[in-house]
Structure formats: structure tokens, C-alpha cells
Amino acid sequence: MKAIVNAKVVLPDRVCNDGMVLMEDGKILYAGDAFPVPGDCAQIDAQGRLVSPGFVDIHCHAGGEWWCWDDPEQMARVHLEGGTTSLDCTISPNIGDSGIMKAIADIRTAMAEKRPGNIMGIHLEGPYMNPNYGGFREYFHDIDEEEYKRYFKQAAGTIRLITVAPELANSEKLIKDCVAEGITVAIGHSEASPEQVFAAADAGATVCTHLMDATGTTRSPLYTGGTKDMSFDEAVMLRDDVMCEIINDSMGIHVRKLMTQYIKKAVGLDRIIAVTDACTGSLDDMDINMLDGALIGSKMRMFQAAKNFKYNTLLEPWEVSRVCSLNPARAVHLDREVGSLEPGKRANIIITDDDYNIFQVILDGETVVSK
């Protein structure tokens, strides 16, 4: 048995300022208020720092210089060092059909061999998205049932998330087929009308890919002579059954800082999912990613997203943990295993200062990063 002591333990609804965590055989036994530790228990002294569940990132293309389709192990290791203990590798359509098939196979192998142990699944961001919105748009195309069923077969249950634009023909068929496979469907890169958004949600879509980013509206110019119409994003927020990804960079480039506060008020804490949408780029202080003058995702790791939710969105530590760990785990049906410090869940834990700078990362009860 191991104990993390002298800790500010972050629970789903509060922080225990004098707290502790017990773990054994890679699982959490207890998390909450401190009590005397058994004498034979190995101890980790948190030195008064935050002890939180490891971050869960369901939308992440790359880490440092490595794309997930080139080297999923090295990419995932970069994010593990940033506190992400559960990761979906996001495949973009720019690598083509054969590239997607190979990437799925390589990521499956890394998962099976636990290299490095934090890859939990695959996210296909496209290719079934609106070519008017987002990076790599020249590779977006209409829905092809034969193609996506080949991806399903190649993945053998490892695809956890797929993004589709609801305005595309046969989108409802794709959504229902995904749900039947146990795959979470996100809608995004889209100018769908409210009616199309609602139809997608009725068919089973439960996530919006990066709300307020790479989206639009079909009604332009405004048909009523100047009054504001409902956009894709507002239609998403109106649906209580759709969770909303946010790329919360420090500069408010993807989503304006005040807009993140508005989203929290409009949809509620339980529907917000922090994602990095990380692409390749040097791990410097600038957490956005520019390529040939265009915005291409971010260079964030989840500890930076957590920091930005603290300062941009004014969240408390337990709220930061909710959007950076528990909510994304819920979105892809991993919340019985990870996402919160609760008995029976995997002992995936981070120790940070109050600004989410990483001091320790614990994966399945073993320290894998120590600074």
C-alpha cells in the first residue's frame, strides 16, 4: 500500500485541504480527509500541493515534434510528462486513406504494448467534415460507408470518438452506426442549421468538437434583415445532451477568454470538456500553433489547459479537475476507470502546484514523472 500525504486532495465536488490518498495494486483505495497512515505504508509527501486525478485528453494530434500517426509512443510520452494519464490519439484526414489505416494499426499496437501506457483510444477527426472550416480542409469529403466500416474493422474497438459535420448527406446513418459500435460521436467543422444539429443529437451525437472554433451558420445574409440568427454553436449549447469541447489557450485565440466564462454560465460545468487539439510544435511559452500564418490547433499539454481554465474561466481547483479529467472521461465512457479520485478507479494521479505546474505523475500507482 502507498499513501500520498500532506496533500490538498481534489475530489469531484471539493478540495480536502488536509487530505490523503491511499492506493494499492494500481487502484485507488481511499481519497479524502487525512487520518493516521499505517506504519508499513510507503508514503509520498505532496508538500501541501494539489493532488488531482490525471488529465484526460480526448482530442490530441501530436506532442512536441511527433504526430500520433508517425510515433504514437513518443507523442503520448510528451503528454504523459504534462500530466495526461489518459489520451485519445486524434488522426487527421491529411494522411490519406492508407495513412489512416496504418495509423490505426500503429496506435492499436502501442496501446496493446502499453507504450507508454496512457493511450486509451483513437479519435478520427474527419474526414467527414465541412471543407469550409478548419485546417486540412482540402482532405474533407462526403461520408463513405464502405470507408468508415473499414476503419471500424481495422480499429477493432479502439476508436472512441469520431467527428462529423451534421449537414453532410447520410450523417445520421453514420452517427447511428457509430453508436452501435460504442463510438462517441462529436459534431464539428460545421455550418449545420439548428435543425440539423438537433437531428444529429437525436441520432446519438453527444459531443461538440471545439465549440466556437471552425464553425459557422448557413443563414447569411440574415434573412430577417439584421436580427441575429442562431448559429451552429448556439444550437449546440441549447442541447442539454451535448458536451462541449473547448480549446482554452492562454491568449484566447481559439475561444475568447470572456466567451469561456459565458459558455460555463450557458451550459453548466458538467458539459465542458477541456482539450488541447495539440499539433506539432516546440514546447515553448506560446501555446497556440501557427503554420504559414494560419492557426493549426495548439501546442498545449493539459497542465497548460488547466492553468488557462483557472485564469481565463475563473474556475476553482475541483472545477478545473471536472473539465480536464472527469468530463472528458465521461464523454468517451471511461469514467468508471479514470477521471476522478474515487475508490476502485485506476491510481492515475498528478501532483501540481496551484498553477498546475507538474511535480509528479503517477500512472497505475507507479511514479512515472518526478520533478
CA 39 – CA 52 distance, rounded (Å): 24
Residue written as cell 474527419? 126
Higher pLDDT among residues 252 and 221, named by residue: 252
Higher pLDDT among residues 7 and 226, named by residue: 7
Give 293's pLDDT tier (boundaries 50, 70, 90). Answer: low
Residue 223: phi and psi, rounded to 5, are: -75, -10
- The answer to whether 318 touches 13, Cβ cutoff 8 Å, is yes
Start-end of H helices in 280-316: 302-311
Give 145's pLDDT tier (boundaries 50, 70, 90). Answer: very high
CA 233 – CA 213 distance, rounded (Å): 9
Per-residue pLDDT at 224: 56
CA 133 – CA 126 distance, rounded (Å): 12
Is the pLDDT reported for residue 275 higher than 80?
A: yes
Per-residue pLDDT at 23: 98
Q: How many CB atoms lie within 10 A of CB 301?
A: 25
Per-residue pLDDT at 43: 97
Higher pLDDT among residues 330 and 285, named by residue: 330
Instruction: Say what the pTM is.
Output: 0.96
- The answer to whether 197 touches 230, Cβ cutoff 8 Å, is no
Q: State pLDDT tens for residues 254-270.
A: 999 999 999 999 999 99
Q: State pLDDT tens for residues 188-227.
A: 999 999 999 999 999 999 999 999 999 986 555 555 566 7
The mean pLDDT of the chain is: 95
Per-residue pLDDT at 184: 98
Is the pLDDT reported for residue 176 higher than 90?
A: yes
**Beta strand 55-60 pairing with 42-45:** unpaired
Q: State pLDDT tens for residues 308-329.
A: 999 999 999 999 999 999 999 9
- The answer to whether 85 touches 351, Cβ cutoff 8 Å, is no
Number of C-alpha atoms within 13 angstroms, CB side, residue 101?
Answer: 8
Secondary structure element (H or E) that encloses residue 94, with its range: none
Per-residue pLDDT at 304: 97
Least confident of 43-47, 138-142, 165-169, 228-232: 228-232
Beta bridge partners of 4: 21, 44
**Beta strand 50-53 pairing with 2-10:** parallel
CA 1 – CA 337 distance, rounded (Å): 19
Per-residue pLDDT at 219: 56
CA 299 – CA 21 distance, rounded (Å): 32
Per-residue pLDDT at 221: 54
Is the pLDDT reported for residue 286 higher than 90?
A: no
**Beta strand 207-208 pairing with 272-274:** unpaired
Residues 160-184 have a mean pLDDT of: 98
Q: State pLDDT tens for residues 332-348.
A: 999 999 999 999 999 99
Cell of 217: 451558420
Measured between alpha carbons, how far is residue 41 from residues 141, 254, 263, 368 in Å? 57, 46, 44, 19
Percent of the chain past pLDDT 90, that is, above it, reads: 89
SS3 37: coil
